[in-house]
Amino acid sequence: MNFPFALVAVLLLGPWTGLLATEASARKPNVILLLLDDAGWTDTGGFGGRMQTPTFDRLGTEGMRFSDCHAAAPNCSPSRAGILTGRNPTRVGIYSYLPENHPMHLRAEEITVAELARGAGYRTGHFGKWHVSDLDNKTQPGPLEQGFDYSLATSNNAAPSHRDPVNFVRNGKPVGKIEGYSCQIVVDEALAWLEGIGASGKKAAPFLACLWFHEPHTPIASPPELVAAYQDRYPGISPREATYLANVENVDRAVGRLLAQLDQGGLADDTVIWFTSDNGPVSASSRGELRGLKSNVWEGGHRVPGIIRWPGRVAAGSHCDVPVSGIDFFPTFCALAGIELPRDRVIDGVSLLPLWLGQPATFRRDTPLYWNFYRLTPSLAIREGDWALVARTDDAERPKAHQLLREDMPYMRTAKPNQFELYNLRQDPGQTRDLSSEHPDRLEQLKQRLLKLHREIMEEGVAWDIPADYLSDAPRRVWD
């Protein structure tokens, strides 16, 4: 049985996955997830950006590039929850970013990909931004309680910036100031961990490593020599943009060191690398022709770069235009590792192995991709094939605070979608032409699917008990 055929069989035969994976390969593949923070669809050279990213471009040349890749949500914390659980973030109760001293978090009741990986014999490490719980709140599970053996993490962004951050926590203990840039610190820690677990050894256990970079989320700090190089390369460029381009390049250089170590240790051929971003950008210069930015359910809010490299399995230089999402990471990892999906809960993502292995005819997604961000309008969207439906609700009571407040919970549960727009993204990726009147049957079909799915997901979502006076004395930030 050759390996690609075995993986397709894993996909089709469900309960026999473990047996087939064992028969097909004595060693399950290592998996590395590289996650940028707030990087837009065009924020690498290979996807049309002006930044120098030879490492990310190399991944695309040696693997598969996804031109229709999406974050699980258009906002940070929900997107990460979707990656970890394979479930729609609204379903698990992560509705927005996690502010300080807030009860919302990824609950221990959820099953994470790291927990399943560890149960299947994987060593598991998390490095970088966490942001699905407050690491200072011991009542909320952190990386070690959610399946990771080892972690160097921050609750939210690197502080005071990417340079010399002071807020990293290693395995539950604050470490204070670390000199250097966040992305390089994250890679340093991951490399030390790989060496510590003997990842290159012939009898080493496979590993799952999540490198969740803080870049290019603000507050940005970039090496001055890289900033100066962009100012020389693009005369007239603003210091802010030069710093942004340099910021992404700095991550690219850090990842280059990681790839070099994989090559040196003989691990490259046995390692799947998945590269993407947690949501869309805050700058229009990073979204290409798409409509919307971070937190929008328009395409610009959640379409992100996506690359898979798996030497010898995924065809080098290949391309996929099938819509995929961050929620697909969980079920795809399970298929890779021969792990049966949990049967006691809804898993919204699907395995992408058929697409990776050049078998798109066997790929199937029964549930439309779905995005929900309650505080903006439009607030809902689903995607089915080339078609996207976006929906608005009555804006009279729409929350205006940047944080999730007590009064927002009943609004989210009662707000009804009542205005709909239909777009064909293959013909109109910028979502400039509403086709509702031209395709009433398609509109009605997707409308009913959205209403049903939204109702089901909201019924499962957690109702957080947020203190009535939460941030009552703080100014509320409008985020429209």
Query: Average pLDDT for residues 424-439, to the nearest whole number?
Result: 98
Please state the pTM of the whole predicted model.
0.93
- Do the Cβ atoms of 7 and 333 come closer than 8 Å? no
* pLDDT at residue 1 in the model: 30
* pLDDT at residue 398 in the model: 74
**348: Cβ contacts below 8 Å, ≥ 6 apart:** 82, 86, 87, 88, 91, 327, 367, 370
- Do the Cβ atoms of 272 and 25 come closer than 8 Å? no
Q: Is the pLDDT of residue 478 over 60?
A: no
**What's the CA gap between 171 and 199, in Å, rounded?**
20
Pairing of strands 380-384, 369-372: antiparallel
**4: Cβ contacts below 8 Å, ≥ 6 apart:** 313, 357
Query: Average pLDDT for residues 287-311, to the nearest whole number?
Result: 97
CATH code reported for the domain at 374-460? 3.30.1120.10
Q: Which of 69, 70, 76, 105 is catalytic?
A: 76
* pLDDT at residue 250 in the model: 98
Q: Which of 3-12, 104-113, 195-204, 316-325 has the lowest mean pLDDT?
A: 3-12
pLDDT (tens digit per residue) in 17-56: 433 333 334 579 999 999 999 999 999 999 999 999 999 9
* pLDDT at residue 324 in the model: 98
Sign of torsion, CA 421 422 425 431?
Answer: negative
Query: pLDDT class for 396, splitting at 50, 70, 90?
Result: low
Parse the chain into domains and list their residue ranges: 3-362, 374-460
- Do the Cβ atoms of 317 and 111 come closer than 8 Å? no
pLDDT above 70 coverage of the chain, percent: 92
Q: Is the pLDDT of residue 479 over 50?
A: no
- Do the Cβ atoms of 455 and 385 come closer than 8 Å? no
* pLDDT at residue 476 in the model: 43
**What's the CA gap between 276 and 70, in Å, rounded?**
9
Q: Which of 105, 131, 217, 454 is catalytic?
A: 131
In terms of pLDDT, which residue wins out, 400 or 13? 400
For residue 370, count CB atoms less than 10 angstroms from its CB and return exposed for 0-12, middle for 13-18, buried for 19 or more: buried
Residue (of 97, 155, 95, 106) closest to 126 by Cα position: 155
Q: Is 162 labeled as catalytic in the residue annotation?
A: no
Q: Report helix, strand or coil for 390.
A: strand
- Do the Cβ atoms of 153 and 129 come closer than 8 Å? yes
pLDDT (tens digit per residue) in 159-209: 999 999 999 999 999 999 999 999 999 999 999 999 999 999 988 999 999
Q: Is the pLDDT of residue 471 over 70?
A: yes
**22: Cβ contacts below 8 Å, ≥ 6 apart:** 338
Q: Is the pLDDT of residue 12 over 60?
A: no
Query: pLDDT class for 473, splitting at 50, 70, 90?
Result: low
Q: Is the bond preceding residue 165 a cis peptide, omega within 30 degrees?
A: no
Count the Cβ atoms, other than its own, within 10 Å of residue 435: 16
CA 65 to chain CA centroid, Å, is 16
For residue 301, count CB atoms less than 10 angstroms from its CB and return exposed for 0-12, middle for 13-18, buried for 19 or more: buried
Task: Indicate the residue type of 231.
Answer: Q
In which element (H, E) is residue 441 found? helix 440-460
DSSP letter (8 states) at residue 15: G
Residue (of 51, 57, 42) closest to 229 by Cα position: 51
- Do the Cβ atoms of 61 and 316 come closer than 8 Å? yes
pLDDT (tens digit per residue) in 209-226: 999 999 999 999 999 999
In terms of pLDDT, which residue wins out, 465 or 12? 465
CA 263 to chain CA centroid, Å, is 25
CATH code reported for the domain at 3-362? 3.40.720.10
CA angle 454, 277, 431 (to 5 degrees): 55
* pLDDT at residue 394 in the model: 76
**What's the CA gap between 421 and 433, in Å, rounded?**
9
CA angle 400, 96, 371 (to 5 degrees): 100
Query: pLDDT class for 14, splitting at 50, 70, 90?
Result: very low
| First vs last C-alpha separation in the chain | 55
- Do the Cβ atoms of 392 and 298 come closer than 8 Å? no
User: Residue for token digits 């677990």?
Assistant: 197
Query: Average pLDDT for residues 337-359, to the nearest whole number?
Result: 97
* pLDDT at residue 288 in the model: 95
In terms of pLDDT, which residue wins out, 16 or 298? 298
* pLDDT at residue 3 in the model: 36
Residue (of 390, 368, 369, 394) closest to 381 by Cα position: 390
pLDDT (tens digit per residue) in 113-162: 999 999 999 999 999 999 999 999 999 999 999 999 999 999 999 999 99
User: Residue for token digits 């210091």?
Assistant: 239
Q: Is 210 labeled as catalytic in the residue annotation?
A: no
